[in-house]
Structure 1
Amino acid sequence: MGSSSALRELQRELETKTNDHSKIQKDISKNHQVRKKYTIQLGENELVLKELDLLSDDANVFKLIGPVLVKQDLAEARANVRKRIEYITAELKRLDATLQDMEEKQNSKKEAIFKIQQRIQSLQAGKAKA
């Protein structure tokens, strides 16, 4: 009777750990999607900056604000794009750190799940012998 309740307890614990592991996997997937979006934006902004650097200082630059094109100073446009690149780069670093943390948590959950499965198997093997 004691091993039966221990087995049930282990199975509940296994279910909890498995659910936690699934949640971490979903979070990792979301992180990858956001990271992909930022990586694309970074590439686009770097391309814009290269194009702006090709222009002469007296070139006309326009910024799209809603449905309207508004004239913008070239130096201001370059500064805005550089700031955007800095922001995106910082966000990518933050996402990488978060991802690394989540992957470490995922690995520890995997190990915990594996240990619980081994304990369940040893309890079941003990029952089979009895």
Structure 2
Amino acid sequence: MRIGDAAAAAGTTPRALRFYEERGLLPPPGRTATGQREYGPGEVARVRVIRELLALGLTVEDLRTVADRIDLLVEDPRRRCGRPDSGVPGSGVVDRRIAALDAEIDRLTRQRTELALRVAGVEPQGG
């Protein structure tokens, strides 16, 4: 299928498909005789997984480090891809992202508490 159809099937845009290809997340697709990109069901499934992982907070750079294993998640979404104990080079991406999210949650929780105290007219501790 052509890029527009593949993008629609994956729930994204042709521009996103080109971006994923440029960043190494999506292998270069086959080309028609006229040079147009041509995608199959495997590429569409891979793009869906990429979009799911990005929506879960992984970055494009995170995904670049595990790009060779994205197809494993296409085959079996429960697969433990990117975990330190997976025995796969470049693992730990998910755990690092979870740690970063936990740190951000802690920071935002402290910020929210301080703001609520100030609004209530209470001087925050240490301030």
TM-score by length of 2: 0.29
Point out the structure with the larger helix share. Answer: 1
Q: Which of the pair has the greater relative contact order for Cα pairs under 8 Å at 6+ separation? A: 1
Radius of gyration: which is bigger? 1
